[in-house]
Amino acid sequence: METTPQFFRHGPGPLARLVFFVLLSLLLMVMDTRFKYLPGIRQTVAVAVDPLQRMAYFPTEIFDQVSGLFVSRSLVDEIANLRQQHLFDQGKLLGLLALEAENIQLRNLLEMELRMETQSTMAEILYIPNDPFSRKVTLGKGSLSGIQLGQVVVDDVGVIGQITRIYPWLSEVTLITDKDHSVPVQLVRNGLRSMVSGIGEDGTLELRYLAANADIQNGDLLVTSGIDGIYPPGLPVARVSKIESDTTYSFARITCIPAAGVNRNRQVLILSPLPSIPERPGEPVENISEVKKRGKVGLH
């Protein structure tokens, strides 16, 4: 049996140390969740963890490499190029569906600016962290590649999520299935606007606060409405899969299946932030009168 002689003990007692570490971790958690501000601690730890993480993913990479050897080299390159091309083309095509559905005349009346062409960066999904408390993936591009917080991540089918944390070489994407992560959407069929939120389960989203008699059918496609100024309009988000309208509740329970999935392919596109969004009224802006004018036009 091991003994701990009293004179080898140094520093404060166990309880004092426990209180110290509990307070410290609570402080860190509050700073991380409430204020989204951790002055470089997380980045520093990430530098230490990154090589270990790469080591953990080494076997999968070896497997990928070996399985790649069996295919001829040129073919591999060609396929990779075509895939990239395909992804870029799909990214541009995604907007088409909504373009058809949108009322162009209304846009002219509102004198909206022509939609800016979204630029995009391609990135690879490096890790899918095993945290059971959140739905996230890690991408292999970070602030050194010009990635910014809040950028939208899509695959060739639709929206995957949003960049919520950046490291120099990596960035973390919060998936749209993460609990309470919401995306403003619009029904393609009739233009009904709403919000689709994750409930923390893979492959399930929820349309909240829609009246029980709202015009929604199974199989309706939801695309981003673009009114938030973060998600570009017209990106497919989800498809309605189940509608339960119980008359005892004022809202219908509408379940959707996300259009895109992270387990489908490793390449994703990070869309550049939308450039020409008027500032939200009420925030400190340099040109208040202009914003007010725009706000009035929007209300008509």
Partner 1 sequence: MAFIDSSKHKPLSNVGGLFIILSLAVALVLNLLPLHGIALLLRPDCVALLVLYWSINQPQRVSMGASFFMGLMMDVGDASVFGQHALSYSVMSFIALLMHRRLGIFSIHKQVPQVALLLLSAQLVMLLTGILINANLPEWDFLLASVSGGLLWPLLPTLVRIPQRRRPDSDAL
| Footprint on this chain of partner 1 (rule: CB under 8 A) | 1-2, 4, 8, 10-11, 14-15, 17-18, 21-22, 24-29, 31-33, 38, 41-42, 45-46, 48-49, 52-53, 55-57, 59-60, 127-136, 138, 165, 172, 178-180, 200-201
Going by the DSSP 8-state scheme, the letter that residue 262 receives in this structure is T
Least Å distance, CB 270 to partner 1, is 17
Phi, psi of 271 (to 5 degrees): -80, 140
Pick 41 or 79: Cβ nearer partner 1: 41
Pick 55 or 104: Cβ nearer partner 1: 55
Pick 135 or 141: Cβ nearer partner 1: 135
Least Å distance, CB 142 to partner 1, is 13
CA–CA gap between residue 270 and residue 136 (Å, rounded)? 15
Least Å distance, CB 133 to partner 1, is 4
232 closest CA partner among 284, 162, 165: 162
Q: Which residue has the tokens 């689709």?
A: 196
Pick 88 or 127: Cβ nearer partner 1: 127
Contact between 128 and 261 under an 8 Å Cβ cutoff? The reply is: no
Contact between 193 and 156 under an 8 Å Cβ cutoff? The reply is: no
Least Å distance, CB 165 to partner 1, is 7
Residue 133 has a CB neighbour count (10 Å cut-off) of 8
> Buried b vs exposed e over 189-222: b needs ≥16 C-beta within 10 Å?
eeebebebbbeeeeebbbbeebeeebebeeebbb
Pick 53 or 265: Cβ nearer partner 1: 53
Least Å distance, CB 29 to partner 1, is 4
Pick 38 or 214: Cβ nearer partner 1: 38
Q: Which residue has the tokens 């981003």?
A: 224
Least Å distance, CB 196 to partner 1, is 16
